[in-house]
Structure 1
Amino acid sequence: MKRSLAVFLGFRLSHSSRRGSIVSLMGIVSILGMALSTSVLIISFSVINGFEHELNQRVLSVVPHGEIESVSQIFSTWKSLLNVVEKVPGIEAAAPYIHFSGLIQTGKRVLAVQIKGVDTQLESRISSIPFYVEGVTWENFISGQKKILIGKGIAHSLNVKVGDWINLIVTTRNSESNFLKNKKVLLQVIGFFNLNGVHANNLVYMPLIDAQNLLGIGENITGIAIKVDNPFHAEKLVHLAGEATGLYVGVRSWISAYGYMYHDIQMIRGLLYLAMVLVMGIVYFNIMSTLVIAIKDKGSDIAILRTLGAKDELICSIFLWYGLLLGSLVGSIIGVLIGIIVVVNLQSIFFCVENITGYHILPGEVYFIDFIPSKLYWLDIMIILVTALILSLVASWIPAKQAISLCPARVLFKK
């Protein structure tokens, strides 16, 4: 009964202020400030979650989790090594590759690229690159047909279309004289892979056997790529796989090349949690000020309630509910609704801004995505709402204690 009475009086108190009064104005400002801060935090967390999701889907699904490369010898018995590596606990699959540099020439245009020779069947076990290929199915990308796959960034730079023929120039070593020489081959572009960032701008795929024949290395390879069950354990697992080969090899994981992205995302997430408390803290200073002024404005009403027998608990509860109505219940709910609407339509808003300004916020040739991603997690919303509730109670407690200390006789005598 006392609790329902406190809620009712707190609601009446929040709506009984005279229109145009300072208390009414500060109450509206508090609600708007709470709504704005809540919506901004929801949008910020959703964008960070979106970047993390896209990093998992686009980078870690394509880039090998780990690589093992020979140092003083070549992998001439790589087929047996694949079985050895895959038996290491935590490693899901392994695939051979050949990695070398070259030049692509079409007309007068020349571009330096990184060529990767892969076995299409084995590569599909460790990478989702087949899902990003356009113009040809990954199963039809077979050796012996002088075919090549290039990134869309390369195609854009060289103005190359599917079906065009290009010259690939590589440096090979003469087996007899051991001298280096340039070798030029004519290859046909049968498709593109649509990945942003450096992969689209300098990476070329060709069948493993074609790469071996081009370099003249027989059936040898330059490295083994692996996929692990937990990417965050890749550093440890790739070292175990290297030791399992029993050869003098060099190892590296995706963390050395792309780990900074995860580190930056987690750092920004931590900063957002700190910003959440600080931003909401500023808003709740405003709520505290509103309550202090409301207590002075409603001093006579408080005195009358005290003379009617209202106890300290009831008076304190009234102003606690008043603070909750200003902050958590009204402002936070409005902010959550605004934040959800913006997050759902964030990509459309992003593209509209780009079309109006003509400025590309995330250029595809630099970043691994060319749009602002968003991923809404209800846990983040609950954390924001619980934080708003706690800060509302803290901000309302001090003014509520001040209301208890009012002396009814002094207030009514002054009136």
Structure 2
Amino acid sequence: MFRPLELFIGLRYTRAKRRNHFISFISLVSMAGIALGVTALIVVISVMNGFDNELRSRILGMVSHATIEGVRDSVKDWESALAKAEKNPHVLGAAPYIEREAMLQGQRVAGGLVRGILPGEEPKVAEIHNKMKSGKLTDLFPGGFGIVLGRELAYKLGVDVGEQVVVYAPEIRATPVGAVPRLKRFTVVGVFEIGMEEYDSGLAIVHMDDARRLYQTDGPDGIRLKLDDMFRAFTVARELAAELGGLYRVRDWMQGHANFFRAIAMEKRVMFMILSLIVAVAAFNLVSTLVMLVTDKQADIAILRTLGASPGTIMGVFMVQGVVVGVIGIAIGTLLGVVLALNLEAIVKFIETKTGLVFLSPDVYYISDLPSDMQWSDVGLIALLGFVFSLLATLYPAWRAARTEPAAALRYE
């Protein structure tokens, strides 16, 4: 079988027992460092992906992919608008809504958003029906004046299912006794928990007809959309707004949380760069290993040169050695990183069970598990990055070996 001379000699040097055991030790340290850096990078990036997906799913459980709102008035002919929206091939579901600010009073007082929905249509665009801790969305019906509260909001108000809450609309109505705020008494029929403080402590759900009566509107504020591709939300919503005609404002899920997701993306990039330095430092340990190896193999290099080996061949021999050490370290690190990333939650729970330590206490953190989402594209990028660092680390020692003068090297042999 044909093998290039550089590859043959380089692999032979890699397998051979070295006279200088310190060189072998440094090689093992370099290999272990690369493996450790690659493992850490895969696990950390997988955890960052897991948190990103977890937060994204929780936010999108309450926020639709896109929203079409009336600029000046409510959407009066909303049934027709809803039918047009559902005909779009990218729209998986559409539902009308009313959303206004309000003051809520139970045992205590708290402010929040009141969202009026149609319980039969809401599951098409949101996951709140799957997040109910008590009660269900179908307990909301027209004229029943029931209300579903976030868990933290119910706690702040000091109420539970079956108790009553007074909702004050931020509007004044004239009466014979003077101007008084518009208010209505609602009965708590359910409690939900999303796992996001923004919604659990500041959102109340009522039937859309009850919200319309409270706020004296003649229709919903807009239509919420769920799409087959959430990253095309703004484009699809804008097309629908143009098709519906009139004055509409279009918002997508990113606009309301752009800074939040931008911060997560920035943190992920920074963590990737910092941990890449660990891989780089480990890879550049190969420089010292190969420099000592070049010094140790001066006589062999001189003999190869006298037999006709070119400087490029000598350079290739030592590059093969460095790359082989790097590839072995990358392979071990990739294997360990993939195994850890795929089983991270089980490993963390096992450690918590055995030690009694709690990494993410549910009393403190909304996300009490350590989510992990390993993506093969990230694994491939990390392995490629480690390979590039290993290859760069071999250039100087290999170049130094290629400059060896045969006569000078064999003078004292």
Do the structures match in fold with TM over 0.5?
Answer: yes
Alpha-carbon separation, structure 2, partners of 1:176 and 1:223: 31
Question: Residue 11 in 1 paired to residue 14 in 2?
Answer: yes
The alpha-carbon deviation at position 165 of structure 1 amounts to 0.8
**For the Cα contact (< 8 Å) 2:106–2:166, is it kept in 1?**
no
Residue 380 of structure 2: aligned partner:
382
Please say which of residues 314-323 and 353-362 is displaced more in the overlay. 353-362
User: What are the Cα deviations for residues 217-263 of structure 1, in whole angstroms up to 9, with x where unaligned?
Assistant: 4x622222223343223233333333333333433222221123333
The amino acid that maps onto 1:356 is L
The alpha-carbon deviation at position 292 of structure 1 amounts to 0.8
Aligned to 1:293, the other structure's residue is in SS state: helix
Q: In structure 2, do the counterparts of structure 1 residues 272 and 5 end up closer, same or farther at CA, with 3 Å as the change threshold?
A: same
**For the Cα contact (< 8 Å) 1:102–1:170, is it kept in 2?**
yes
Q: For 1:16-35, what aligned pairs fall within 5 Å after superposition?
A: 16-19=18-21, 21=22, 23-35=23-35
User: What are the Cα deviations for residues 258-314 of structure 1, in whole angstroms up to 9, with x where unaligned?
Assistant: 123333344445445655665433333321222011111232343455567766566
Residue 115 of structure 1: aligned partner:
114
Q: In structure 2, do the counterparts of structure 1 residues 180 and 100 end up closer, same or farther at CA, with 3 Å as the change threshold?
A: farther
Question: Residue 328 in 1 paired to residue 331 in 2?
Answer: no
Aligned to 2:183, the other structure's residue is in SS state: strand
Aligned to 1:204, the other structure's residue is in SS state: strand
User: What are the Cα deviations for residues 141-182 of structure 1, in whole angstroms up to 9, with x where unaligned?
Assistant: 444444322222224444554x34131321255387894524
Alpha-carbon separation, structure 2, partners of 1:337 and 1:402: 34
The amino acid that maps onto 1:11 is T
Question: Residue 42 in 1 paired to residue 42 in 2?
Answer: yes
The amino acid that maps onto 1:31 is M
Alpha-carbon separation, structure 1, partners of 2:358 and 2:368: 16
Residue 181 of structure 1: aligned partner:
181
Q: In structure 2, do the counterparts of structure 1 residues 73 and 401 end up closer, same or farther at CA, with 3 Å as the change threshold?
A: closer
**For the Cα contact (< 8 Å) 1:31–1:327, is it kept in 2?**
yes
Question: Residue 281 in 1 paired to residue 280 in 2?
Answer: yes
Aligned to 1:224, the other structure's residue is in SS state: strand
What is the aligned residue count? 405
Residue 403 of structure 1: aligned partner:
401
TM-score (norm 2): 0.83
Name stretches of at least 5 consecutive residues in structure 1 with no aligned partner: none
The alpha-carbon deviation at position 7 of structure 1 amounts to 4.8
Question: Residue 263 in 1 paired to residue 262 in 2?
Answer: yes
The alpha-carbon deviation at position 114 of structure 1 amounts to 1.1
Q: For 1:163-174, what aligned pairs fall within 5 Å after superposition?
A: 163-171=161-169, 173-174=172-173
Residue 150 of structure 2: aligned partner:
151
Aligned to 1:356, the other structure's residue is in SS state: coil
Alpha-carbon separation, structure 1, partners of 2:359 and 2:403: 61
Please say which of residues 258-267 and 308-317 is displaced more in the overlay. 308-317
**For the Cα contact (< 8 Å) 1:164–1:189, is it kept in 2?**
yes
Residue 191 of structure 2: aligned partner:
191
Residue 356 of structure 1: aligned partner:
357
The alpha-carbon deviation at position 200 of structure 1 amounts to 1.3
**For the Cα contact (< 8 Å) 1:151–1:195, is it kept in 2?**
no
Aligned to 1:150, the other structure's residue is in SS state: strand
Alpha-carbon separation, structure 1, partners of 2:399 and 2:313: 11
Q: In structure 2, do the counterparts of structure 1 residues 362 and 370 end up closer, same or farther at CA, with 3 Å as the change threshold?
A: farther
The alpha-carbon deviation at position 90 of structure 1 amounts to 4.2
Question: Residue 70 in 1 paired to residue 78 in 2?
Answer: no
Alpha-carbon separation, structure 1, partners of 2:376 and 2:73: 53
The amino acid that maps onto 1:117 is G
**For the Cα contact (< 8 Å) 2:86–2:93, is it kept in 1?**
yes
Aligned to 2:357, the other structure's residue is in SS state: helix
Residue 253 of structure 2: aligned partner:
254
Alpha-carbon separation, structure 1, partners of 2:174 and 2:119: 28
Alpha-carbon separation, structure 2, partners of 1:333 and 1:355: 34
User: What are the Cα deviations for residues 308-347 of structure 1, in whole angstroms up to 9, with x where unaligned?
Assistant: 7766566444322321232221x21232233234323434
Aligned to 2:235, the other structure's residue is in SS state: helix
How many percent of aligned residue pairs carry the same amino acid? 27
Alpha-carbon separation, structure 1, partners of 2:359 and 2:240: 49
Alpha-carbon separation, structure 2, partners of 1:143 and 1:355: 50
Q: For 1:284-299, what aligned pairs fall within 5 Å after superposition?
A: 284-299=283-298
Question: Residue 209 in 1 paired to residue 209 in 2?
Answer: yes
Alpha-carbon separation, structure 2, partners of 1:248 and 1:392: 59
Aligned to 1:174, the other structure's residue is in SS state: strand
Q: In structure 2, do the counterparts of structure 1 residues 287 and 8 end up closer, same or farther at CA, with 3 Å as the change threshold?
A: closer
The amino acid that maps onto 2:240 is A
Alpha-carbon separation, structure 2, partners of 1:414 and 1:159: 91
Q: For 1:78-89, what aligned pairs fall within 5 Å after superposition?
A: 78-87=78-87
The alpha-carbon deviation at position 413 of structure 1 amounts to 2.5
User: What are the Cα deviations for residues 327-375 of structure 1, in whole angstroms up to 9, with x where unaligned?
Assistant: 221x21232233234323434566768973787599546xxx4544221
Please say which of residues 25-34 and 301-310 is displaced more in the overlay. 301-310
**For the Cα contact (< 8 Å) 1:47–1:374, is it kept in 2?**
yes
The amino acid that maps onto 1:174 is R
TM-score (norm 1): 0.83
Alpha-carbon separation, structure 2, partners of 1:86 and 1:7: 65
Name stretches of at least 5 consecutive residues in structure 2 with no aligned partner: none
Alpha-carbon separation, structure 2, partners of 1:259 and 1:38: 31
